[in-house]
Structure formats: C-alpha cells, structure tokens
Structure 1
C-alpha cells in the first residue's frame, strides 16, 4: 500500500520536474539543497533565486524571435519588465543583464530609472514606458527624464488631461502612447477597465488633440488585459478589437509604429500547471500579422510587459510546522512559525495559489491538514480554497521537525506586505536570502535582510522618539 508522501506526489503529478528534484528524501529547488539552506539560515526564511529571472526573460525572447522569423514579421520585439512586480535592486540588476526595457507605474519609479542610468545599468536607448494615473510628481519626473535627453521615455496617456500636463512641463517634442480601456471579463463587477481611454474614443482623441499638435508624436497603442494572456475566447476577441483600433489609428497617424500587448503571462502555481507559451506567442504574432496584411498597413513593433513572469518563479518561502491543533474530529491545523498575512499576502487577500510542498520527510506517511499562521486573525490561513487540491503533508510528529516550502512567490508579495515596515500583529518579516550562481555555475548565497527585530517595530511605531 502506497502511503508515503512521496507516493502521493508521484501518483498525483508528473514528478520530478525541471525545478523540483528529490535527494535523500529532501526536496531540492533548481539544485538548491533547501534542507541545507534551513540548517545554515534557519526558518522562517524567504529566498530569491536570481538565475531564474534571466532564464524566463531569455525563454520569452527566444519564443518571440522564433515566431517573428516563422511568419516573416517585419516588426521588432521588445521585452519590458514591470517594476511594480518587484522593485528590488537585485531583481532589476539581474533582469537588465538581458537587453530589456522598463515599465513604470508611479513617480518614485523614475528615481529608480535615474539611479540605474547613473550606474550604467540602462542607457538613453532603453525604453521607459510610463503607465498609471499621472499627477504632479509623476508628470514632473517624466518631464525631467525627457528634458534630460531620454527620448525613449514614452508616457502612456491614461486620461484626457495628462497630455496637457505633459506638454506644460516638457520642452520640445516628445512621444506618447495611448492605453485602451479594455472591456473586462463578464465575471468582473464592472464592464470596462478604469484605466485608459475607451475603444471608440481613441481615434477622435487623436484627431482632436494630437494630429495637429507639433509637440507630440503618437508612437504606441497600449493593450492590457487584467486576467493576462490566456487562450480564451475573451482574450482573442479583445485582441481583435485592439487590432481594429490600431489599424484605424495607423491609417490617420503615420508616427504610430508600436503595439504594447500588456497583461502578462501566467506563472506556475501547481505541479499540474500547463500553459503553452510558445503557441500563444506564435498565435499572437500570426493574428497581428494577418490583420495588418489584410488592412494593408505596416505591422507594429511589439512590446510586452512581463512582471510576474519575469520575477515570480524566482521566489520562495520556507516555514517550520510548530504544532498541530486538532480542533474537531476531522480538522487538523498545522501551525507555521510565521504569518501568511505577513509573508504571502496574496494567499489570503485574493486566494492566490502557490506551489506548496514538504521539504523533508518525503518517505513518511501523510495526512490531510489545514495551515494556520501565528496571528490571532481568523483570515491567517492557507487551505484548499487557495491550493489546487486538499493539502496533504507528512504526518506531524513533535520530535521530528517538518519544514514546508511555498514556491514561485517572487512577485508582489514583498511590496504588498510592506517590506521592512509594520506587519500584522507585529509578526516579523523573515530573513531574506539571495541565491545566485558564480562563473563556474556553483551556488552562492548571501543575506539580503535579517529578520525584523522588535527594536525596528518600536522605532516605526514612535516609541523610541
């Protein structure tokens, strides 16, 4: 009878997988000895495996290059990283090794851009696409960047007023894009995105405010789907509507030469995850190519904005199961030594799924459990609503420590959780480790941030002032 945790995983999923291997009944992630990492740094623990960032960027670039060649596509492809997914310097430094560009969301993003320029990480040839609802500070920072010679900074117009604000602050001519206010999926509580300008209003807006405006060149149409790039009737329908707008706009706007298909790729959230990235890219290129050929207009250069896809699969969180509480005849609560609200806010805020696996004791019997965090908040838990299946882990034994890992947590969790700031119930943010490989391919680790201390909380709260 197969009753071991390994048997459960093996018969439920295709295992081992590219990033997950088993060695001496302990889990490895991209060749990282997780049990050894715990022995050296303790738990709870967060880590970032930097090489995965470059790996995903290069995969996407190769897929697009292959499809562009296959279809004889005349435009170029540009990979942009959405800084809002993770603003950390180590993330940007790794991503920028791969000839990419940047998408920003707020005023302080431009400070990061200026820092990267001063360090030689980006140049004036790097595209900086400025999204988001723009007010004084953001407008001023964008204007300063353009006035200082960064012509490849393209503010994406989100509302009618922004164009006048930009013109008032920018010296000379500059380029802009327009964001389409796409229609949301039927399950959403609203019909149209609050971001951008409606499909029917874009060409009239161009004719009225940009066509005869000698200071402004329209270069880009920005198309964003909130649910991401997925093989659904909804996505393909919205893409076709976008292409109709591009074609109509291109016919009256000769400077328009780029299409930004934002929205992003999904990332792996289960061992059963399946997504044909190459097919989706190939079909997108094919659809754009066909639509433009039929309309007899030049195809656009393609920009993508990949945030979660860039950084999400580089992150992980490790916890120890401290104790098990039997609350009734069938619910067992494994209590972790941290808080989901603190460290994985998306798991409780939007029921986001992450890959969850035991790190050790794979050769022992398993049981069905619920996972609870340390806070006194009833929402501090992770169960089958967030997970793809019911949660099974090796049986709790007081004298045999059990460690669990959540994987592909690298996007948004730190910024949403308020990295380095106050945490719910003052549960400290765990130690954060950066993992890289040297020129010989050997793993290297270093501490990026120690676990928060009570002294830091007291200072933030004003008790030491």
Structure 2
C-alpha cells in the first residue's frame, strides 16, 4: 500500500511540474533548494523569486504578439503593470527591465512613478494609466505629471465629476483621458453594477455633454474590467460584447478614441491541478474585437492590459515550521505553525484564498490529515483545506523530525494587505523577507531584504519608545 507523502502527491497531480521537483525527499522550487534557504535564513520566511516576474511578462507579450500576427490585427499591444499588486522597489526594478508601462491607483503611486522616472528606470514616453477614484491630492499629482511632459499620462475617469476636476487642475495642458465602464457584476455577487466607472448608457452622452466641444480634452481609451477577471465564461464574453458595442458607438462620434484597455485578471496558478489556456483567451478576445470593428467599419484599437497578480504573484512564497501538534478530538489534529495566516497570508483569511501548499521536506514519510493553525489567539487564524480537496495532508508530525511547509505563488497583495512592517495581530512579527535572483551564469543568488520584526519595532510603533 502506498502511504508516503510523495505517493499522495503523485497520485493526485501530474508531478513533478515545471517549477516543482524533488531532490531526494526535499522540494525544489525553480531549482532553488528550499531546505538550504531554511538553513541559511530560518523560518518563518517570505521570499520572491524575481526571474519569474520577467518570465510572465514575456509570456504575455508573446501571446499577444503571436495572436496579433496570426490575425493580422492592426493595433498595438501595451503591457502595463498594476502597481497595487506589489509596490516594492525590487518588483518595479524587475518589471521595468521588460519595456512595460505603469498603472496607478492612488496619489502616493504617483510618487513612485516620479522616483523611477527620475532614476532612469521608467523610459520617457512610457504610458502611465491613472485608475481609481481620484481625491484632490491624486488629481493634483496627476496634473503635475502631465505638466512634466516626459510621460504619456492617461487618467481614466471613474465618474462624471472627475473630468471637471482634471480640467481645472491641468490649466492649459492637453488632457488625454480614458473612461472606465461600470460593468455589471456576476448574478451571485452582492451588487448588480460595479461601483467603479460610468454606466454603459451614460458614456456617449457624457462625451457629448462635457468633452466633445472642449478642444483641450481628448478621449483616447475605453477601460473595461470585471471583478472575476479574464475567464472563458458566458459572463465574461457577454460583458466584453457590451463593452465593444460601447466602444463602437463612442468611436463613431469621437475620432480621438483609439485604445481599449481590457484591464487585468489573468488567473495565476493556485493549485497543482491548475489549467488555463492563456493563448486561446488572448486569441478569442482579439478575434471578437476585430470582428466588431470590421462589422462597424472602424479601426482596430490599441490593446492595453494591466496585469498585476499575473506579473508578480507567481514569484512569491512563504515557508513555515510546524512547531507542535494538538490532538483536539478524535478527528481533528492541529499543526501549529511558527507564524500567522491572518497577518502574513491575509487572503487565506479574508477571502478564503487557497495557494499551492506543499511540504518542503520528509516526502518519503507517511502522511496524515491535519488542520493548520496560526499563532494568534484568534479562532479564525487557520488554514483547513486545499483547492483540490476538503482537507490538508502532510507528513506525520514527529517532534524529533522538523517539518517545514511552503505556500507558493503568494507574491501579490499579501504584504500590502497584511501591513508590511507595521502592527500585527497579537504582535506576531513580520517574517524575514529574502530576494532570489540569478547571476549572469544562472547561479542562484539570495539577498536579505528585511529582517524579522523585533519587539523593539513594535514598541516604537506603539509609542513605548
């Protein structure tokens, strides 16, 4: 009878996979020996494997390039990085190696744009797409970038009042804007229409009333995004069809319109059973755009995307040590980790997100069904199932044999939502954070980005120092 942990994984999934394989009984991730990483830095530990960022950007560029060439698509493609997924400098440094553009969400985002522009990391002439609701400070920072004239700034109007604020803030400068469509939410969603953007039926009247006769303002872009992202579902195709209908109607009265922004939303790998045909989705989207343009005798628009999680998500990981096992009743065994899910992988608690979770070592040991608990005293600080099953299986706990577990593809949102460097629930510290690169010879190189938080850090934040 096959009862080893490796047997469970091999019977459940196609394993090994591109990024995962074993060396003896230890898990390797993109060729990184994770046990050596643990030996050098200890746990709890977070890391980013930066080459994966470039890999995913180039994959997406390749899918759009191939589809456009095969379809004879006449518009251009612009890959933009959605900075809210991860604002860290090490992420932007890697992203900007790939000739991409930037999408912002808030006033402070503009300070990052200014920094990377002045440092020569963001090329002059690059596009900065300014999304989100725009309070006065955000409006003013956008106006400052437009005044600077080194970048192509496209503020995407979220509501009809924003256009008046932008016109007032930009003086005599030419103002090129986008309009965000308020898409209809999925039937199971709590709300009927997205709170973001302008309703379909208001867009053309909005243009005619406030923009058509203003020689200083041009609509360049229509922005389309749905909360569930880009998926091969009837809901997605229905919303895209409505978007293209509005694009066509607006283009017929607004000759300056030349770009369609389909937002972000490419899914990332959250399970070893993950399957998604990215190239098919890109081809189908472009085919629909091309068909509508042909039917309405209008030029094919430039296509913009704003991939955030897809860009950075698969670069991240977290490693924890199982400290202790508690047998709470006949069925429930709790493995306690040396960190907190609520604070250091907040999506597991807030939106019941599941990441790839695997043992790092002891793959040749027998396995058991367990629950995983964090260190806080909150009853919600737990992780109880994987996407492929309603349970977690790990090598059997043995107090004499340390067990390490890894969560993978956690690189988007977890640090910002968890409040990187700030207070944590029950004062459970932020783990060490390590950056992993490859040198010019392909050798793995690691660098400590931040130390684990200390009691002194918390005392200072709380005003005791």
- After superposition, the C-alpha distances for 1:287-346 in whole angstroms (9 at most, x for unaligned) are 101110111100100000100000000000000000000000010000000000111000
What is the CA-CA distance between 1:358 and the residue it aligns to? Answer: 0.2
Structure-1 residue corresponding to 2:202: 201
TM alignment of 1:241-256, pairs within 5 A? 241-256=242-257
Structure-2 residue corresponding to 1:41: 41
Structure-2 residue corresponding to 1:360: 361
Bigger shift: 115-124 or 60-69? 115-124
Inter-partner Cα distance in structure 2 for 1:186 and 1:83: 29
What is the CA-CA distance between 1:388 and the residue it aligns to? Answer: 4.6
Say if 1:406 and 1:295 are closer, same or farther in 2 by CA, change over 3 A: same
Q: Secondary structure at the match of 1:178?
A: strand
- After superposition, the C-alpha distances for 1:245-289 in whole angstroms (9 at most, x for unaligned) are 000000000000000001320100000001000100010011101
Residue 381 of structure 2 is aligned to residue 380 of structure 1: yes
Residue 69 of structure 2 is aligned to residue 69 of structure 1: yes
What is the CA-CA distance between 1:125 and the residue it aligns to? Answer: 1.1
Structure-1 residue corresponding to 2:266: 265
In structure 1, stretches of 5+ residues that fail to align are none
Structure-1 residue corresponding to 2:111: 111
What is the CA-CA distance between 1:123 and the residue it aligns to? Answer: 2.5
Structure-1 residue corresponding to 2:236: 235
What is the CA-CA distance between 1:205 and the residue it aligns to? Answer: 0.2
What is the CA-CA distance between 1:151 and the residue it aligns to? Answer: 5.0
What is the CA-CA distance between 1:389 and the residue it aligns to? Answer: 4.2
Bigger shift: 160-169 or 364-373? 160-169
Inter-partner Cα distance in structure 2 for 1:337 and 1:166: 49
Inter-partner Cα distance in structure 1 for 2:151 and 2:169: 15
Structure-1 residue corresponding to 2:298: 297
Deviating beyond 4 angstroms after TM superposition, the runs of 4 or more aligned structure 1 residues are 385-389
Structure-2 residue corresponding to 1:450: 451
- After superposition, the C-alpha distances for 1:138-171 in whole angstroms (9 at most, x for unaligned) are 0000000001114511000001111111111113
In structure 2, stretches of 5+ residues that fail to align are none
TM alignment of 1:309-348, pairs within 5 A? 309-348=310-349
Q: CA RMSD in A?
A: 0.8
Q: Secondary structure at the match of 2:419?
A: coil
Structure-2 residue corresponding to 1:437: 438
Structure-1 residue corresponding to 2:140: 140
Inter-partner Cα distance in structure 2 for 1:263 and 1:101: 13
Say if 1:449 and 1:388 are closer, same or farther in 2 by CA, change over 3 A: farther
TM alignment of 1:66-215, pairs within 5 A? 66-171=66-171, 172-215=173-216
Q: Secondary structure at the match of 2:365?
A: coil
Inter-partner Cα distance in structure 2 for 1:436 and 1:225: 34
Aligned length: 464
The TM-score normalised by the length of structure 1 is 0.99
TM alignment of 1:375-454, pairs within 5 A? 375-384=376-385, 388-454=389-455
The TM-score normalised by the length of structure 2 is 0.99
Inter-partner Cα distance in structure 2 for 1:239 and 1:263: 13
